[in-house]
Amino acid sequence: MAFRFALVGNPNSGKTTMFNEMTGSTQYVGNWPGVTVEKKEGKARKTKEDIRIIDLPGIYSLSPYSLEEIIARDYIIDEKPDVVINIVDASNIERNLYLTTQLLELGVPVVVALNMMDTVESKGDQIDLKLLEKALGVPVIPTSANKNRGIKELLEKALQVAQTAAAGAAAKTEGRSDGPYDKNVEAGISSVRDCMTPFIGEKGPNPRWAAIKLLENDEKVIEKLKLSDALMEEVKAYRSKMEKDFDSDMETIMADNRYNYISGVVGKAVRKNAAGGSLTLSDKIDIVVTNRILAIPLFLAVMYAVFQITFGAIGSFTIDYIDVLINETLAGAASGWLEAAGAAEWLQELVVNGIIAGLGSIMVFVPQIMIMFFFISILEDSGYMARAAFVMDRLLRKLGLSGKSFIPMLMGFGCSVPAVMGTRTLENEKDRRLTIILTPFMSCGARLPVYALFTAAFFAENQSLVIFSIYILGIVVAILSGIILKNTILKGEAAPFVMELPPYRIPTAKGLLIHMWDRGKGFIKKAGTVIFAASVIIWFCQSFSFSLQMVEEASESIFGIIGGAIAPIFAPLGFGDWKSAVALLTGLVAKEAVVATMGILHGLGAVAEDSVELAVSLQNYFTPLSAYAFMAFTLLYVPCIAAFAAIKREMNSWKWTLFAVAYQTGTAWIVAFIIYQVGRLLGLN
Ligand code: GDP
Ligand code: MG
């Protein structure tokens, strides 16, 4: 028999870290709230029994006000996991227990994992586990998920609870009699429970919990229970009476009761280190990092430093090395070998000028991408990125945008697909549509090779500065677009959003390596599949004419003709040649394909007699100014097919999807036009 354990806890309490440790998977762990939107399931390793672990989205309570809370709550009630493992951030115990009290009310088997005990210990605080267990009435296991401490004990205890529950001993727990509520509230709850219990079926939720929710006027629960109007009237009468007795509204009464109860428990069970109490190191750093004036310049400086390292000495060293390896050694060997084997000339061309040139032009950037994401992971895991989000949130709210948009947008720097999916956390539909439209303006990893190629060819002296400016351009365009759209077709109130700051942490080597490898792996996999196929097709379309004859002049090929037809659209932007037009067209498949296409069309392979270096060949087609306009266009125009599909799925409307695409492409054209034309007026070239 398989057991199912659901991990439930506040955002950033370590659920995903715990999930990864338990199941051996490598789900994304980020030191900021809101990273896990969908639930994930995995099989626990190193256990005899078949145990499934479910990682639910992070939540602060079980109210019906946010999507995450509804997902988690419905899962617990409807899917009835065998045990709910409540992950509590012990270094923030008071706030975390708010959810715990609500989980206990559900009357389902709960085991509390008191996580981040390492942080508590290093602060010198002490938690009396026995007392806490007694107060909550459920097992409490101390853990440190990121150090793999206590996880084995946690699983054993949960299994024991599950087996006892399965044996029927703990069936229909009624919650604790000395629960969080005072006598008068408890009396009200009991009355409501008694009058409705007969109407809740065997399969229904715990009656006491349902009574509490009815008193709180929780619409989702009311809807689900389908109680008669007469009964609802009765509940309403109880509610009004209690609100009058306490001279307050029901929600406040319940919340006050829970908070009072929790501070009572915490007061008894937690002994704070006497030396602490004043500002922690984390607080001191935050005073500087989130300072109203310093915050944004500091953020820019940090990001600039990352680019400087990535595209400075280390990065270019790896590029030169791999470039020689692939484009000279490998291409030379392949061509010699095919020649010796007597392969047909078209085959030699395909392998060397198609596949090796296409893939090679991309693969050279793998190390740089990995280096960049290594540093970005440090910023994320340490907690700095959450501060950046916090600062940006403040800025965005001033502009009337939802601060919650910032997290998907931050994810967009990795890849637009999960970022667009991440917009599900926005409840307000207009804010969500707006965020979906803006997220692809954040420069994803796939666009990096394009910048790397062009800056190496045209801005060798200031490579990192120019790439940095492209990233900033994306952010600025997104903010301006947000203001424009928010004041026109997507008018509405910005939903409030409370961004919580996680403590600073030293990133773990394992976490960093997982992040870096994830990126690198994804990139290589894409190169081996999509880009590989694209290279073959690109080579074909530039070698053959529409009548399937091999052509002498590439400009007479299929791509030559198509590219020639659309090239005039790009002429005012400074790159009206057919090769650039084709590159942008293939970029719709994946943005890396822009580089692969350039590699193939500019004859990077070793077969052609007159093969030259790609960068040198590009200089015949672009000036620094038009190269910059080209990079800006690549940044802003329609994202790749995968992102397009994600947009369609999340918008759930063709009208909005097409609007998003048209808006992005239109913006790309206008911005590139302005850059090129203004640049020319200023005499830059
Ligand atoms: P989730 O949002 O609940 O899924 O939390 P994550 O698993 O993404 O973890 C949030 C952050 O807490 C990450 O930076 C983890 O490395 C860190 N973390 C997780 N567990 C522990 C722990 O036991 N001790 C410490 N010090 N950090 C932890
Ligand atoms: Mg998570």
Report the separation in Å between the CA atom of 99 and the middle of ligand 2, taken as the mean of its atom positions: 16
Tell me which of 37-51, 153-167, 395-409, 653-667 is least confident. Answer: 395-409
Ligand 1, atom 8, lies closest to the CA of: 29
DSSP 142: E
Report the separation in Å between the CA atom of 92 and the middle of ligand 1, taken as the mean of its atom positions: 13
Ligand 1, atom 9, lies closest to the CA of: 14
Ligand 1, atom 18, lies closest to the CA of: 14
Q: What burial class does residue 579 get, using C-beta atoms within 10 Å of its C-beta: 0-12 exposed, 13-18 middle, 19+ buried?
A: buried
Give tens-digit pLDDT for 382-398.
888 888 877 877 777 77
Ligand 1, atom 17, lies closest to the CA of: 14
Q: Which residues contact 538 (CB under 8 A, 6 or more apart)?
A: 354, 358, 559, 582, 586, 593, 596, 597, 600, 601
Report the separation in Å between the CA atom of 498 and the middle of ligand 2, taken as the mean of its atom positions: 18
Q: Is the pLDDT of residue 37 over 60?
A: no
Ligand 1, atom 6, lies closest to the CA of: 14
Say what the pLDDT of residue 277 is: 56
**Which band of pLDDT confidence, cut at 50, 70 and 90, is reported for residue 174?**
very low
Correct CATH for 2-166 of 2.60.40.420, 3.40.50.150, 3.40.50.300, 3.90.1010.10? 3.40.50.300
Report the separation in Å between the CA atom of 14 and the middle of ligand 1, taken as the mean of its atom positions: 4
| Nearest ligand for residue 503 CA | 1
Tell me which of 185-194, 285-294, 487-496, 551-560 is least confident. Answer: 487-496
| Nearest ligand for residue 20 CA | 1
- Which contacts qualify for 468-476: CB closer than 8 Å, 24 or more apart? 468/303, 468/304, 468/307, 470/443, 470/631, 470/632, 470/635, 471/303, 471/307, 471/413, 471/443, 472/300, 473/632, 473/635, 473/671, 474/441, 474/442, 474/443, 474/635, 474/636, 475/441, 475/442
| Nearest ligand for residue 36 CA | 2
- Scanning 312-365, the segments in alpha helix (DSSP H) are 313-323, 331-340, 345-348, 357-363
Strands 270-271 and 140-142, sheet pairing: unpaired
The CA distance from 234 to 558, in Å, is: 76
Q: Is the pLDDT of residue 591 over 70?
A: yes
| Nearest ligand for residue 22 CA | 1
167-176, 222-231, 279-288: which has the highest mean pLDDT? 222-231
Mean pLDDT of the chain: 85
**Which band of pLDDT confidence, cut at 50, 70 and 90, is reported for residue 604?**
low
- Structure tokens given for 3: 């057991």
Report the separation in Å between the CA atom of 11 and the middle of ligand 1, taken as the mean of its atom positions: 9
**400: region left, alpha or beta (phi > 0 left; psi from -120 to 50 alpha):** left
Tell me which of 131-145, 185-199, 209-223, 299-313 is least confident. Answer: 299-313
Q: Which of 12, 13, 17, 25 to mutate to test the pocket of ligand 1 (most atoms within 8 A of CB)?
A: 17
Residue with tokens 């490579």: 463
Query: Mean pLDDT over residues 594-610, rounded?
Result: 70
Report the separation in Å between the CA atom of 98 and the middle of ligand 2, taken as the mean of its atom positions: 19
Tell me which of 152-161, 254-263, 286-295 is least confident. Answer: 286-295
Report the separation in Å between the CA atom of 377 and the middle of ligand 1, taken as the mean of its atom positions: 14
Say what the pLDDT of residue 173 is: 46
Q: Which of 16, 89, 146 to mutate to test the pocket of ligand 1 (most atoms within 8 A of CB)?
A: 146
Q: Which atom of ligand 1 is nearest to the CA of 20?
A: 7
Tell me which of 9-13, 85-89, 567-571, 613-617 is least confident. Answer: 613-617
Q: Is the pLDDT of residue 327 over 80?
A: no
Q: Is the pLDDT of residue 622 over 60?
A: yes
Q: Which of 15, 29, 143, 282 to mutate to test the pocket of ligand 1 (most atoms within 8 A of CB)?
A: 29
Q: Which atom of ligand 1 is nearest to the CA of 144?
A: 23
Report the separation in Å between the CA atom of 448 and the middle of ligand 1, taken as the mean of its atom positions: 29
Ligand 1, atom 2, lies closest to the CA of: 12
Q: Which atom of ligand 1 is nearest to the CA of 10?
A: 3
Q: Is the pLDDT of residue 341 over 80?
A: yes
16-30, 225-239, 279-293, 521-535: which has the highest mean pLDDT? 225-239
Q: Which of 12, 19, 123 to mutate to test the pocket of ligand 1 (most atoms within 8 A of CB)?
A: 12
Q: Where are the domains of the chain?
A: 2-166
Q: Which atom of ligand 1 is nearest to the CA of 35?
A: 2
**Using a 6 Å CB cutoff, which residues line ligand 1?**
9, 11-17, 29-31, 35-36, 58, 115-116, 118-119, 144-146, 381, 505, 511
Report the separation in Å between the CA atom of 59 and the middle of ligand 1, taken as the mean of its atom positions: 15
- Percent of the chain exceeding pLDDT 90 equals 32
Report the separation in Å between the CA atom of 17 and the middle of ligand 2, taken as the mean of its atom positions: 7
Q: Is the pLDDT of residue 676 over 90?
A: yes
Say what the pLDDT of residue 35 is: 52
Q: Is the pLDDT of residue 178 over 80?
A: no
Largest CA distance in the chain: 96
| Nearest ligand for residue 13 CA | 1
Report the separation in Å between the CA atom of 197 and the middle of ligand 1, taken as the mean of its atom positions: 40
Q: Is the pLDDT of residue 243 over 60?
A: yes
Query: Can you give the pTM of this predicted structure?
Result: 0.68
Q: Which residues contact 305 (CB under 8 A, 6 or more apart)?
A: none
Q: Is the pLDDT of residue 171 over 90?
A: no
Ligand 1, atom 14, lies closest to the CA of: 31
| Nearest ligand for residue 86 CA | 1
Strand segments (E) across 353-436: none
Say what the pLDDT of residue 627 is: 96
Say what the pLDDT of residue 313 is: 66
Give tens-digit pLDDT for 536-578.
898 899 889 888 888 888 888 999 999 999 999 999 999 999 9
Report the separation in Å between the CA atom of 35 and the middle of ligand 2, taken as the mean of its atom positions: 5
Q: Is the pLDDT of residue 443 over 80?
A: yes
Give tens-digit pLDDT for 295-318.
888 988 988 888 888 777 666 667
Say what the pLDDT of residue 609 is: 44
> Do residues 474 and 668 touch, judged by C-beta distance below 8 A?
no
Q: Is the pLDDT of residue 172 over 50?
A: no
Q: Is the pLDDT of residue 34 over 60?
A: no
The CA distance from 379 to 397, in Å, is: 23
Report the separation in Å between the CA atom of 89 and the middle of ligand 1, taken as the mean of its atom positions: 9
**Which band of pLDDT confidence, cut at 50, 70 and 90, is reported for residue 522?**
confident
